[in-house]
Amino acid sequence: METSGLTSTGNLALVNPLQAQGVVVPTPPENLGPRVLELSSVLQVTLDIEAQIELFGKEIQRYLLIDGLGYDLPNGGPTVSYGSEAARRATYDLKLEDKSLGSVHVCRELPFSRKEITSLENLLCALVYPLRNALSYRHAVESASRDPLTGAQNRLALSNALLREVDLAKRQDLPLSMLVIDIDHFKTFNDTFGHSFGDDVLVAVAEMIANTVRRSDLLYRFGGEEFVVLASHTEEAGAMLLAERIRSNIEAMQTVRGRDIRVTVSTGVATLNDDESAEDFFSRADQALYSAKNDGRNLSRMG
């Protein structure tokens, strides 16, 4: 791994993890020049993090020979990549005013020279402010699309995602399934124990669903006591298996916030047909949910 020290410009810091272990490179960075300002302007044209990383990778290849780079968001999530991985890495934690902006690694097969590391650090300075803005925008969008109680995405987010996922599944000729999940007799919890406990049940069910589905599956609170899961690359058999796993895991919960309680759910399942719209797709899963309820609840039914 290539190492470098700490480059600081005002309240901006690019910190290599090895700096904290006592690895100090005394060579001062070259002055920020017009190319850094130019690069910063280029990166400001978008608030999309993936697009920024791709632009950054393309632009720094004008000045440095690299094979690729990767960016890790500050709060986890998949790595955003450009180009390809290689044996040699220069890795930096990005911070602005003591706030973490994630980490970036730049890689290639050949070792980096001292001068190249200095240039790289200066070029990274151009990324930090556009990246800060993109992260703030991402957080605002995610906050607007999240249900504040359960943390699941909300109905508005589902409307946008459903159109996108249906279009993607049709273009790539891949299966897409939907689960519409409803908590059985939810009104009883509110009437018997109060709305605060009803909220506890919603949170517990949302957490159980989130812990059961795959990382690639998308979870939404559709409204009230109803949740929706979009399962990409999933055919009928896999969707029913997922629905039953969710149903059995929720039924197995013995307590909610210390109170002994039995919670069950009914689920409608549908797999996208080639000729149906997103609206018809949802309607078919919703009708399957009503079948599950009419057949006695605590069931999964295919639409």
SS3 content of the chain, % helix, strand, coil (to 5): 45, 25, 30
Q: Are 266 and 182 in contact (CB under 8 A)?
A: yes
At residue 196, the pLDDT reads 95
pLDDT at 144 over 80: yes
Residue type, 131: L
Pairing between β-strand 226-232 and β-strand 259-260 as defined by DSSP bridges: unpaired
How many percent of the chain have pLDDT more than 90?
73
CATH class given for the domain over 6-142: alpha beta
The structure's pTM equals 0.64
pLDDT at 173 over 50: yes
Burial degree of 183 (CB within 10 A; 0-12, 13-18, 19+): buried
Average pLDDT over residues 103-109: 94
**In terms of DSSP H, where are the helices of 84-113?**
none
**In terms of DSSP H, where are the helices of 213-264?**
236-251
At residue 79, the pLDDT reads 87
At residue 204, the pLDDT reads 97
What is the length of the chain? 303
- Angstrom distance (rounded) from CA 45 to CA 52: 9
Residues 6 or more apart whose CB falls under 8 angstroms from that of 6 comprise: 13, 14, 15, 16, 19
- Kindly report, residue by residue over 21-79, the tens digit of the pLDDT: 333 333 334 554 678 888 888 899 999 999 999 999 999 998 899 999 999 999 877 78
Determine if residue 77 is left, alpha or beta; phi over 0 gives left, psi from -120 to 50 gives alpha, anything else beta: left
- Kindly report, residue by residue over 147-166, the tens digit of the pLDDT: 999 999 999 999 999 999 99
Domain residues of the chain, as ranges?
A: 6-142, 155-302
Average pLDDT value for the chain: 88
- Angstrom distance (rounded) from CA 117 to CA 121: 6
Residue type, 265: V
Q: What residues are annotated to the active site?
A: 225
Average pLDDT over residues 196-212: 97
Residue type, 159: S
Across 224-257, b (16+ Cβ under 10 Å) vs e yields: ebbbbbbbbebeeeebbebbeebbeebeebeebe
Lowest mean pLDDT among 76-90, 193-207, 244-258, 287-301: 76-90
pLDDT at 123 over 60: yes
At residue 63, the pLDDT reads 87
Q: Are 216 and 242 in contact (CB under 8 A)?
A: no
The fold of the 155-302 domain, in CATH, is Alpha-Beta Plaits (3.30.70)
In DSSP terms, which residues pair with 297 in a beta bridge? none
Residue type, 158: L
Average pLDDT over residues 230-254: 97
At residue 5, the pLDDT reads 35
Lowest mean pLDDT among 4-18, 111-125, 165-179, 277-291: 4-18
At residue 294, the pLDDT reads 96
pLDDT at 20 over 50: no
- Angstrom distance (rounded) from CA 195 to CA 215: 31
Residue type, 235: E
pLDDT at 221 over 70: yes
